[in-house]
Amino acid sequence: MRTESTIVFSARPELDRPILIEGLPGVGNVGKIAADFLANKLKAEHLATLTSHHLPPQVLVDGDGVAVMPSNEMYYLKDVGTSHLDVIFLIGEFQATTPDGQYIICEDMMKKVFLPYDVSTVFTLGGFGTGQVKEDGRVLGVASDTDMKERLEPYGVTFSPHEPPAGIVGASGILVGLSQQYGIDAACIIGETSGFFVDYRAGMRLIEVLERLLGLELDLSELEAMAKQMDEINSKVMKYASQQRSDNLGYIG
C-alpha cells in the first residue's frame, strides 16, 4: 500500500537510447556543479521528479519563500551537439539519508525511468577528495568494463588502479554498479578536489570532458567567475585562520 518513492513524469518525450548524466551532491559538489551547469546552459526540459521517504524529512525554501520538497529531478535533451546524443540529466539537492535508501532510490529510477527509456550509457559525476589544495587536478574514471575505459580515455579521463582508494560512495557509485548488473555501459567521471570547499574548477574540468563527449563548446565564464569568488573567500578564511594562530601563540607565549 505504501510507496517508499514516487516518480511523477511531467513529459513523455521519445528519446533515442539516451545517455544518463548524474550529478547529485557529493565531495566538493564537483559532479553537481557540472550537471547543473549543463542542464541549465543547454536548457534541458523537465522529465520526471522522484520524491522519497529516503530523502531528508524536510522542505527547503526557494527565492520566493515557497517550500520545495526534497527530490531528485530528471531533465532531458534531444540531439545534443555534434554527437547528436539524447541525454537525461539526474540532478537534485539531496541524496538518500541511509545506506539502503541509496540503493532503493537508485533502483527505483533504474527500473522506472532508465530501463524503460533504454538508456545506452550511464555517466555519473563525482569528486575525489585528496585533502590537498592544488592548482590542477586529474579527471579520474571508474568504468563498468575495460571497453568503457578505452572509450573515455581519448576525452581526457585517466584510469588508475584502485583509485579512488575508498571507491565511489553514493548514487555515483551505485548507478555504475547497477548498470553492470543490467548490462548497461557506465562510468563514473571524477574530478580531483581538495574536498575542503565547493570546487568550481574541478567541476569545469568535468564539463570539459563532457563537452568533448557530446561535441559541444560552451561558455564557462560564469563558472570561472564563481571559482574566483570562491578563491577570494578562501584567501580571506586562510588569512583569518593564520592571524588566529599567531594571536593564539601570542596568548600562550
Binding region for its own copies (CB under 8 A): 2, 4, 6, 51, 53-54, 56-70, 96-104, 107, 141-146, 149, 159-170, 173-174, 176-178, 180-181, 186, 188
C-alpha cell at 122: 550511464
Examine residue 164 and say whether the peptide bond preceding it is cis (omega within 30 degrees of 0): yes
Grid cell listed for 77: 535533451
Sign of dihedral through CA atoms 105, 106, 109, 112? negative
Q: How far is CA 58 from CA 6, 173, 212, in A?
A: 16, 25, 38
Strands 85-92 and 19-22: parallel
* Minimum CB distance to its own copies, residue 226 (Å): 17
Q: Shortest gap between Cβ of 65 and its own copies (angstroms)? A: 3
Residue nearer to its own copies on the CB measure, 1 or 241: 1
Report the distance separating Cα 123 and Cα 246, nearest Å.
46
DSSP character at residue 26: -
For the bound state, the minimum distance from the C-beta of residue 31 to its own copies, rounded and expressed in Å, comes to: 15
Least separation, in Å, of the C-beta of 176 and its own copies? Answer: 5
SS3 (DSSP) at 199:
coil
Nearer to its own copies among residue 168 and residue 209 (C-beta)? 168
Q: Which is nearer to its own copies, 239 or 245 (CB)?
A: 245
CB of 251 to its own copies, least distance (A): 11
CB of 141 vs its own copies, minimal distance in Å: 6
- Residues 224 and 218: their CA atoms lie apart, in Å, by 12
Kindly tell me which of 166 and 241 has the beta carbon lying closer to its own copies.
166
Residue appearing with cell numbers 542542464 = 39
Nearest residue (CB) to its own copies, 73 versus 86: 73
Q: For residue 32, what are the CA distances in angstroms to 44, 126, 177, 191?
A: 15, 8, 20, 11
Please identify, using beta-carbon distances, which residue of 34 and 178 lies nearer to its own copies: 178
